[in-house]
Amino acid sequence: MSVELVTNQTPINILQSVFGYKSFRNQQEAVIEQIISGGDALVLMPTGGGKSLCYQVPALLLDGTAIVISPLIALMQDQVMALRLFGIKAAFINSSLNAEEVNEVENRLIGGELDLLYVAPERLMMSRMLSLLDQEKISLFAIDEAHCVSQWGHDFRPEYIQLSVLHERFPSVPRIALTATADETTRTEIIQRLALDQARVFNDGFDRPNIQYRINENQGNAREQLLRFILNEHEGDTGIVYCLSRKRVDQIAQWLEGKGLKALAYHAGMSNDVRQHHQERFLREEGVIIVATIAFGMGIDKPDVRFVAHLNLPKSIEGYYQETGRAGRDGLPANTWMSYGLQDVITLRQMQHGSTGEENYKRIEGHKLDAMLGLCEITTCRRQAMLRYFGDEMGEPCGNCDNCITPPQTWDATEAAQKAISCVHRTGQRFGVKYLVDVLLGKDDDRIIQFDHHRVSTFGIGTELDNKEWSTLYRQLIASGFLRVDFEGHGSVKLTEAARPVLKGEQRLTLRRMLKSSKTKLRKTRAFAATANNALWESLRQHRTELAEDQGVPAYVIFHDATLAEMTERQPQTLKQLSNISGVGESKLEAYGESFLDIILSHSKADPFIDKSDTVQETIELHNQKLSPQEIADKREMTLSTIYKHLSRGIEMGELKITDVLALEENEIKIIQSVFEDCEDGKLKSVYEELNGEYDYGVLGCVKASLGN
């Protein structure tokens, strides 16, 4: 292999100095090592896992230009802008550029001026482009969204098939293929079609631990539930609300807007201009809620989407995972929320039934919907079930889905199910759910009398449940396949084979009990926990917005929420301290450091909790001269506990390392940290007692300060 390193930098140096991040995540470093040693890689990482750094860091380390192939043309400009703010030389070529602009980029490529060049696949495959690349030094090829090569997947792109040419034409250039969709079949197909059989496969699994999953029953008030969810937990946040139809999209967007929220519609039936404009606002402004059909999302790469809500049922777990996956790409907590009801089940089944696909295809689609319904009705951990569906096992329940947080009650529904099924049978399998429920409740109704159903044995035998409870039960029976809805018979409910054992009493049924009201108390997701510093947080965001508008880039390109949240929490007082914040690399420090620091400093003046004198700094300096805490205390004529407070502040600000401050083994520190984490109130006193007074308060304070790092 003919890769050459251009610098004597290491991957971790680049990560810290250019990107401003402290450490690599999961397999990032291993992937980077593989590429810079000249090998190929197939990287399977969930959305938000950090795939881009896997090729961006090698691009900076290796001689030549890295070629990044991506189908997401709309994103290229923002991606390239984001890289430039990190001080990286990047450009893109796609159909949005005119001939002159293309020429200019090509000249920069020829001049060896580019670290990274993003190209659309169809552009790359033009013979002109390929022969240009023949003459240049190419450091690597990164094939983003590699699943687009799979003909069975949902995002198939014919141009991707031709990418195997790269291997033949540039055999010595390392290739890295990346995707977040990677079931076994797709993976095999990627390897085969891109000739990646020599590639090392890096698989980080599918889990998105920062996403909370919640699925609610629609009790006829989904819209209000949604509003409550947004107002209670996500006021001012960016979010996506998915609806099934265009009409519903328009209605919901208007309704939310009427409630004072910044909600915009997005669907294929709108004029191009308006749609573009809405997407643009979603990307650039803070706190926009986009209400959309599932057409929205592909190619949306906004990292700070705090919630994704579904007012309809996705067609499959794959769809659900992908759509909810647009939340929380930045790794900060994000919520997903869905409301579903009987009508969703009927509508989706009907759509599938009416589709013109082959029988085999329809059957597979039917199974996928069944699996999705199973996920809705399940009473155990939703994440475990979802990961299992994708072939990942997760040992323990996740603790971050609705079923884990408020375990649903279940009940023995056998007898009720027998009544419900029997009622379908007695009335001739010709009626819909509403009618069946009326019969069970013994309602005085003209239609029932007309059909003589007030004389059947199930008439009025169901008064132990109410209207809603029976509807829920029917939904569950349909969702679990004991009953089915016949579309040729205008939505009438029919028995399936599976109903027989239940009717005969051979099978017992345990079902999820319907929630009487949705007062479940769940965590409030915010980018950061400390509400005390709301004012600073808002000022920093405001400043970011202004900068972003000036430069015509989305706000997150300047700094992510996570970075602003850390600034808010730690309140750095010097540029050096600011540079320790994750996401503040050298180039951004130079461009924005002063102005953000000014805001923090003027805020600190008003904050009594910030130590404004240099006393902390003085202690830190003495510590750096290798004085022990006791020696510092003696020298400064201060109490030992004050010195420990200074040291813990230094740890908190990222200036000191806990292992340098305390004369304890790393393991011992870890144990104390875990006691803090397990401790409910997180108070020093509780931890002190838990550890039987073995460690002084000063020591514990330092450990506590290290927890955020």
What residues make contact with ligand ADP under the rule CB under 6 A? 21, 24-25, 28, 45, 47-53, 303, 329-331, 560, 582
Nearest one of 488, 217, 481 to 350, comparing CA atoms: 488
Answer for the pair 302, 286: CB distance below 8 angstroms, yes or no: no
| Distance in Å, CB of 50 to ligand ADP, minimum | 3
For ligand ADP, the closer of residues 539 and 582 by Cβ is: 582
| Two structure tokens written together for 572 | 């750095």
Dihedral of the CA atoms 407, 411, 417, 419 (nearest 10)? -140
For Zn ion, the closer of residues 401 and 493 by Cβ is: 401
Report what 398 binds from Zn ion, ligand ADP, none; CB cut-off 5-8 Å by kind: Zn ion
Answer for the pair 371, 316: CB distance below 8 angstroms, yes or no: yes
For ligand ADP, the closer of residues 49 and 650 by Cβ is: 49
Range in contact with Zn ion (rule: CB under 5 A) among 134-142, 267-275, 326-334, 397-405: 397-405
| Distance in Å, CB of 296 to ligand ADP, minimum | 17
Given the structure tokens 């961006």, which residue do they identify?
56
Kindly tell me the burial class for residue 521, based on how many C-beta atoms sit within 10 Å of its own C-beta (0-12, 13-18, 19 or more): exposed
Report what 653 binds from ligand ADP, Zn ion, none; CB cut-off 5-8 Å by kind: none
Range in contact with Zn ion (rule: CB under 5 A) among 192-200, 255-263, 375-383, 591-599: 375-383
d(CA 451, CA 436) in angstroms, rounded, equals 12
d(CA 368, CA 362) in angstroms, rounded, equals 10
Range in contact with Zn ion (rule: CB under 5 A) among 223-231, 378-386, 509-517, 616-624: 378-386
For ligand ADP, the closer of residues 297 and 698 by Cβ is: 297
Report what 427 binds from Zn ion, ligand ADP, none; CB cut-off 5-8 Å by kind: none
For ligand ADP, the closer of residues 51 and 512 by Cβ is: 51
d(CA 310, CA 270) in angstroms, rounded, equals 21
| Distance in Å, CB of 620 to ligand ADP, minimum | 25
Answer for the pair 288, 238: CB distance below 8 angstroms, yes or no: yes
Tell me which residues in 630-689 interact with Zn ion (CB under 5 A). Answer: none
| Two structure tokens written together for 595 | 């102005």
For Zn ion, the closer of residues 366 and 397 by Cβ is: 397
Helix (H, G, I), strand (E, B) or coil at 230: helix
Report what 620 binds from ligand ADP, Zn ion, none; CB cut-off 5-8 Å by kind: none
d(CA 707, CA 688) in angstroms, rounded, equals 16
Report what 21 binds from ligand ADP, Zn ion, none; CB cut-off 5-8 Å by kind: ligand ADP
Range in contact with Zn ion (rule: CB under 5 A) among 20-28, 158-166, 398-406, 481-489: 398-406
Helix (H, G, I), strand (E, B) or coil at 691: coil
| Distance in Å, CB of 14 to ligand ADP, minimum | 11
Report what 321 binds from ligand ADP, Zn ion, none; CB cut-off 5-8 Å by kind: none
Asked if 214 touches Zn ion (CB under 5 A), the answer is no
Asked if 404 touches Zn ion (CB under 5 A), the answer is yes
Strand segments (E) across 144-219: 175-179, 200-203, 211-217
CA atoms within 13 A on the CB side of 474: 33
| Distance in Å, CB of 178 to ligand ADP, minimum | 7
For ligand ADP, the closer of residues 72 and 436 by Cβ is: 72
Asked if 383 touches Zn ion (CB under 5 A), the answer is yes
For ligand ADP, the closer of residues 303 and 341 by Cβ is: 303
Report what 288 binds from Zn ion, ligand ADP, none; CB cut-off 5-8 Å by kind: none
For Zn ion, the closer of residues 387 and 632 by Cβ is: 387
Asked if 401 touches Zn ion (CB under 5 A), the answer is yes
Helix (H, G, I), strand (E, B) or coil at 217: strand
Asked if 387 touches Zn ion (CB under 5 A), the answer is no
For ligand ADP, the closer of residues 438 and 561 by Cβ is: 561
The 3-class secondary structure across 474-502, one letter per residue, is HHHHHHCCCEEEECCCCCEEEECCCHHHH
For Zn ion, the closer of residues 287 and 397 by Cβ is: 397
Report what 123 binds from Zn ion, ligand ADP, none; CB cut-off 5-8 Å by kind: none
Report what 404 binds from Zn ion, ligand ADP, none; CB cut-off 5-8 Å by kind: Zn ion
d(CA 537, CA 561) in angstroms, rounded, equals 10
d(CA 424, CA 336) in angstroms, rounded, equals 36
| Distance in Å, CB of 495 to ligand ADP, minimum | 46
Question: Helix axis angle, 629-636 relative to 640-652, nearest 10°?
Answer: 120
Residue type present at position 423: C
Given the structure tokens 């139809």, which residue do they identify?
245
Q: Which residue is nearest to ligand ADP (CB)?
A: 50
| Distance in Å, CB of 29 to ligand ADP, minimum | 9
φ/ψ (deg, to 5) at 581: -75, 135
Dihedral of the CA atoms 136, 141, 143, 149 (nearest 10)? 80
For Zn ion, the closer of residues 404 and 653 by Cβ is: 404
Answer for the pair 366, 308: CB distance below 8 angstroms, yes or no: no
Asked if 385 touches Zn ion (CB under 5 A), the answer is no
d(CA 322, CA 206) in angstroms, rounded, equals 11
| Two structure tokens written together for 202 | 């890096």
d(CA 211, CA 427) in angstroms, rounded, equals 45
Report what 381 binds from ligand ADP, Zn ion, none; CB cut-off 5-8 Å by kind: Zn ion
Polymer length in residues for the chain: 709
Asked if 381 touches Zn ion (CB under 5 A), the answer is yes
Residues of this chain that interact with Zn ion (CB under 5 A) are 381, 383, 397-398, 401, 404
